[in-house]
């Protein structure tokens, strides 16, 4: 996983009935985790499930409750996990390593998008969710065999590498986070009656002599105005597309122009908001 410090959780739902703590938390560096394996095995044999996660903000996302086919699809589409763990027969957890550390809100957003894209558990997708520690048993009662044994949590692979699509995916997550933040600010400003209704259409900006006929400036001005007043991104994209963009190049380059325009508008909105 590449982390240096971990939070380890030893969870036993029935412990309260025995006057014990339901969760025993520990914060250990990597070497301490390794030195504590014997103690963890003893606790595991006593009925505790053993979980682990990096301490604090980090550059990983956990995707829980995956099928083997979903893991294959991850790899085929550029989302190869840094770690894959089989938590019960045919059920997997994957840790994906982003190219950089994400703040908590964006880390949660990234985990949820990955869960949605690959059929994982969206309810377990957040910035600090625990994964199971490999080499110990999954003590959920439903997995107990007729002989009273539990399945081992197995480490399937651990490349430790960042996934190839990381840069593009993280950029998309950051853009979506900016859009959500802009929408929240717009809704907040409207809650006290100060929000201006979205009355200016893109044609208003294209006919404004202040922009000197510069279509790029017109598009940016419209985009700033619309997003700052709570317009949906899809509405803005459709408006930007209602003129011929073929001079920007093929479809891919046209999409890149629109993405750059929206991203720049969001940065300007955000900087203006912080300056107030």
The contacts of residue 172 (CB under 8 Å, 6+ apart) are: none
Segment 81-122, tens digit of pLDDT: 999 999 999 999 999 999 999 999 999 999 999 999 999 999
Write down the pLDDT at residue 18: 82
| pTM metric for this prediction | 0.72
Q: Can you tell me the distance from the alpha carbon of 215 to that of 68, in angstroms, rounded to the nearest whole number?
A: 49
Q: How many CB atoms lie within 10 A of CB 108?
A: 19
Tokens 């027969």: give the residue.
89
CA nearest 110: which of 67, 158, 69, 59? Answer: 59
Domain-wise residue ranges, the chain: 5-163, 169-275
Q: Whole-angstrom distance between the N-terminal and C-terminal Cα of the chain? A: 41
- Over 60: is that where the pLDDT of 275 sits? no
Fold topology of 5-163:
Alpha-Beta Plaits (3.30.70)
CA nearest 84: which of 56, 55, 120? Answer: 120
In the predicted model, what is the mean pLDDT of residues 153-171? 95
């Amino acid at each position: 996983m590449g982390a240096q410090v971990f939070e380890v959780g030893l969870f036993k739902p029935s412990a309260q009935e025995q006057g014990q703590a339901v969760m025993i938390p520990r914060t250990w560096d990597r070497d301490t985790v390794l030195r504590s394996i014997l103690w963890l095995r003893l606790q595991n044999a006593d009925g505790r499930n053993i979980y682990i996660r990096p301490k604090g903000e980090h550059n990983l996302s956990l995707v829980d409750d995956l099928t083997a086919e979903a893991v294959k699809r991850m790899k085929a589409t550029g989302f190869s996990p840094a770690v894959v763990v089989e938590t019960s027969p045919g059920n997997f957890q994957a840790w994906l390593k982003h190219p950089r550390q994400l703040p908590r809100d964006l880390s949660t957003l990234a985990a949820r998008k990955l869960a949605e894209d690959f059929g994982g558990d969206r309810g377990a997708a957040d910035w600090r969710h625990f994964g199971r520690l490999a080499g110990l048993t999954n003590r959920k009662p439903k997995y107990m065999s007729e002989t009273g044994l539990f399945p081992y949590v197995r480490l399937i692979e651990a490349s430790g590498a960042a996934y190839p699509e990381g840069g593009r995916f993280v950029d998309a997550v950051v853009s979506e986070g900016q859009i959500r933040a802009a929408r929240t600010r717009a809704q907040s400003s409207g809650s006290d009656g100060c929000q201006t209704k979205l009355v200016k259409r893109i044609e208003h900006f294209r006919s404004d002599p202040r922009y000197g006929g510069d279509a790029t400036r017109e598009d940016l001005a419209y985009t700033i105005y619309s997003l700052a007043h709570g317009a949906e991104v899809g509405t803005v994209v459709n408006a930007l597309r209602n003129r011929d963009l073929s001079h920007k190049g093929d479809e891919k380059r046209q999409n890149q122009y629109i993405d750059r325009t929206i991203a720049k508008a969001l940065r300007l909105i955000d900087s203006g908001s912080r300056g107030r």
